[in-house]
Homo-oligomer: A and B are copies of this chain.
């Protein structure tokens, strides 16, 4: 029997309890060890909940209990999660976490501490919820050099963008609906401004290239400026708009970015709709692969946490090798990244087509039904620097949205 302690009885914490309640017996049969929840640390009490008898309020009880081999950190946020995790690892206990903020900021450091103490620090649930991506990246795609990781890593914004694409509703209306349904928080900034996706791509890029990527250094643009009119153009071109989180190696330099982008219907991420997440990976030998599933939610996330607990049970007294050094990875200047750009301009196409063609070549100017006094066009593949320089010379630019060009596929 392996005793574990859960830090935090919130959504994921109660999900971990539920997964072990439901599947505990079959798990024990498969791995030859029963997993027993000895403590649940929470500031609150839960009278009437079967977990109440395991609730404790003092973390020292867990730290000082040599029976506890695995600590499950599902509190979220940096503190006290960081201090608690560090102390657990130093006390010779493995830690499984779903905390993307903690992993993005301190992952490399905590892995090093885990290694020193011959225990494990695992975080499958921190990216893509229930989707297996961390373990495939470190244990399956090992024969490849990762050329590109592009993910739809935030279910809230993917739900919103999907509804906008399919139903033609406005950004404000769909945000309100997402909040009413509980998919978006009252303060939706972390989701809609792209910060959540940014932390997750920081983790994936760090693991893919073996060094620390600071999420603060990743160019991050949210979906707050995406409108129902943008989708009219996208639909007309047979394209979708997705909030993409990208880590990519181009000519030996690593670019990372979070931004809404247009993708065509041939891209594997095109069909990833609603609250689902997916991570597209391109390896230099493997070619294209994609991992798809529920990126959030109590049970899918808890399923990934429990899979980590099981892996830690299997690896008691050995440290699973992970390639993530605390050395900083220098990201390339985003200005040198090349994309196609979709642009909307106010006014009549006739009046501006000469200047546009002079700058961007023979692009097609488009109009969409029920939208007057403006038009749109898609550029060829061009660097951000060059695009920004050229676009500044056109009057009345309404918006621009990056697009994945055909030649990048």
In whole angstroms, what is the CA distance A276 to B267 when docked? 12
Of the residues B23, B140, B145, contact of A143 by C-beta under 8 Å? B23
Q: Are A143 and B286 in contact (CB under 8 A)?
A: no
Interface string of A13-51 (1 = CB under 8 A from B): 000001100110011001100000000000000000000
* B contact residues around A19 at 8 Å (CB): 143, 285
Q: Are B144 and A140 in contact (CB under 8 A)?
A: no
* B contact residues around A27 at 8 Å (CB): 142-143
In whole angstroms, what is the CA distance A342 to B391 when docked? 54
Known interface pairs A136-B135, A268-B292, A287-B294. Does A307 touch B22 (Cβ–Cβ under 8 Å)? Answer: no
* B contact residues around A210 at 8 Å (CB): 30
Choose the segment among A2-10, A101-109, A124-132, A348-356 that binds chain B (4+ C-beta atoms closer than 8 Å).
A124-132
Of the residues B131, B136, B271, contact of A271 by C-beta under 8 Å? B271
Q: Are A144 and B23 in contact (CB under 8 A)?
A: yes
Q: Which residue of B lies closest to A135 (CB)?
A: B140
Query: Within A33-88, which residues are at the interface with B (CB < 8 Å)?
Result: none
Of the residues B31, B145, B289, B305, contact of A292 by C-beta under 8 Å? B289
* B contact residues around A304 at 8 Å (CB): 140, 143, 286
Interface size on A, residues (CB 8 A): 53
Query: Within A302-317, which residues are at the interface with B (CB < 8 Å)?
Result: 302-307, 309-311, 314
A299 within 8 A of B: yes
In whole angstroms, what is the CA distance A176 to B312 when docked? 52
Q: Are A303 and B291 in contact (CB under 8 A)?
A: no
What 6 A-B pairs have minimum CB-CB distances, sorted nearest first?
A: A143-B306, A132-B140, A289-B293, A290-B292, A285-B303, A271-B271
Residues of A whose CB lies within 8 Å of any CB of B are 18-19, 22-23, 26-27, 30-31, 124, 130-132, 135-136, 139-145, 210, 268, 270-271, 276, 283-294, 297, 299-300, 302-307, 309-311, 314, 321, 323
Can you report 24 A-B residue pairs in the complex whose CB atoms are below 8 A from each other?
A18-B285, A19-B285, A22-B284, A23-B144, A23-B284, A23-B285, A31-B321, A140-B304, A141-B303, A143-B302, A143-B307, A268-B292, A271-B271, A283-B303, A286-B304, A287-B294, A287-B297, A287-B300, A288-B292, A288-B293, A288-B294, A289-B294, A291-B291, A291-B292
